[in-house]
């Protein structure tokens, strides 16, 4: 393997090379096996270690390199179907390191944040809820699994992206059960270059003073009113959706056409809530937001 190969090609070759070694390999062994200059290979090994692909173990004057758990070579978009069961399997087994390594490995292999959220994170959130509702796991285990999912989403938030000052979003969860969905949305927006203000679970602030408090916040996060501001509310109940819609709509009307309200949840057919978009589908909210942003340009 010589000059002209991309970092991605070297990464895939390295995964295959180290996957066959249970005792680790030195940098010299790796460079010879892959036919890459030793100095160049040494630089790649250090970069991949920072990314979480590799770990090293020093034995005397020799440094041995190992793959982190859960690392293998993927080809996206063809391999997205493999990630859904693998992520859930690692999650339910309590293998946190493998959960996080899988996410990082997918990102290194060319997966997009939005597809990983749709293909792995959201199905896992729903699976954990179903297991709890069916009495197969208790509250403690449910909270542990939800925490691991939340930490997975934090990996996406650590990615460096170019933020567009004209794309602003405030994300709200009206209850605890909607929190992970709001976190997932925040990560998806961040990856698409939105300036995200994630307020988390706001169930404790459902009171008559919320509209005044929220208006002050809008004045800070959207001070010069550049571009667009979308407020997205996730809720499992009609009450939550109704409350936040009633509180936010008057503020939206005062702020002009560049402020929008989107609601995500399920309601009874008779319920009518005023908003710019209402959908039960997570992906609809993201797609609509992108469309609105493009139309504002």
Fill in the DSSP letter of residue 68.
P
- Under the banding of pLDDT at 50, 70 and 90, the label for residue 2 is very low
**Helix 282-296 and helix 179-191, axial crossing angle in degrees, nearest 10:** 40
Mean pLDDT of 1-22: 77
Q: List, for residues 60-93, the tens digit of each pLDDT value.
A: 888 999 987 767 778 899 999 999 999 999 999 9
Name the residue among 66, 56, 50, 59 with its Cα closest to residue 14.
66
Question: Are 126 and 180 in contact, with CB atoms under 8 Å apart?
Answer: no
Torsion angle in degrees (nearest 10) through CA of 136, 237, 170, 118: 40
CB-based contacts of 21: which residues, under 8 Å, 6+ apart?
Answer: 66
The DSSP element (H or E) to which 254 belongs, if any, is helix 238-255
**Residues 150, 154, 157, 159: is their CA dihedral positive or negative?**
negative
Fold classification of 80-157 is: 1.10.1240
Domain pair 7-67 / 80-157, same fold: no
CB-based contacts of 257: which residues, under 8 Å, 6+ apart?
Answer: none
CB-based contacts of 44: which residues, under 8 Å, 6+ apart?
Answer: 7, 10, 14, 36
Q: List, for residues 235-278, the tens digit of each pLDDT value.
A: 999 999 999 999 999 999 999 899 999 999 987 766 789 999 99
Question: What is d(CA 135, CA 133) in angstroms, rounded to the nearest whole number?
Answer: 5
CATH number of 167-296: 3.40.50.280
Q: Break the chain into its structural domains and give their ranges.
A: 7-67, 80-157, 167-296
- How many CA atoms lie within 13 Å of 97's alpha carbon, on the beta-carbon side? 9
Question: pTM for this one?
Answer: 0.84
Number of other CB atoms surrounding residue 136 within 10 Å: 10
Residue 255, judged by CB atoms within 10 A of its CB (0-12, 13-18, 19+), counts as middle
Q: List, for residues 194-247, the tens digit of each pLDDT value.
A: 999 999 999 998 888 899 999 999 999 998 889 999 999 999 999 999 999 999
Strand partners, 64: 26, 57
Torsion angle in degrees (nearest 10) through CA of 115, 120, 123, 124: -150
Strand partners, 261: 231
Tokens of 284: 């609809």
- Under the banding of pLDDT at 50, 70 and 90, the label for residue 3 is low
Report phi then psi at 181, rounded to 5.
-65, -40
CATH number of 7-67: 1.10.10.10
């Amino acid at each position: 393997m010589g000059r002209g190969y991309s970092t991605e090609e070297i990464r895939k070759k390295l995964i295959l090379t180290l996957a066959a070694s249970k005792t680790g390999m030195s940098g010299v062994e790796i460079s010879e096996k892959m036919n890459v200059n030793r100095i160049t290979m040494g630089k790649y090994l250090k970069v991949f270690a920072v990314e979480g692909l590799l770990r090293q173990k020093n034995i005397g004057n020799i440094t041995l390199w190992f793959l982190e758990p859960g690392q293998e070579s993927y080809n996206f978009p063809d391999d997205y179907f493999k990630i859904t069961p693998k992520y859930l399997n690692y999650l339910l087994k309590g293998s946190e390191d493998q959960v996080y390594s899988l996410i990082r490995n997918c990102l290194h292999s060319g997966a997009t944040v939005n597809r990983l959220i749709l293909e792995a994170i959201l199905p896992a959130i729903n699976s954990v809820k179903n297991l709890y509702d069916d009495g197969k796991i208790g509250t403690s285990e449910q909270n542990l699994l939800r925490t691991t999912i939340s930490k997975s989403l934090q990996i996406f938030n650590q990615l460096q992206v170019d933020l567009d000052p004209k794309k602003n979003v405030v994300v709200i969860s009206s209850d605890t059960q909607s929190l992970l969905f709001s976190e997932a949305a925040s990560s998806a927006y961040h990856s698409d270059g939105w300036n995200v203000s994630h307020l988390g679970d706001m169930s404790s602030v459902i009171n008559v003073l919320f509209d005044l408090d929220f208006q002050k916040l809008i004045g800070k996060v959207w001070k010069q009113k550049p571009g667009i501001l979308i407020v997205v509310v996730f809720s499992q109940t009609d009450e939550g959706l109704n409350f936040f819609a009633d509180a936010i709509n008057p503020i939206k009307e005062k702020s002009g056409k560049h402020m929008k309200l989107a609601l995500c949840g399920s309601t009874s057919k008779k319920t009518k809530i005023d908003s710019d978009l209402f959908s039960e589908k997570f992906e609809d909210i993201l797609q609509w937001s992108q469309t609105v942003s493009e139309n504002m340009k």
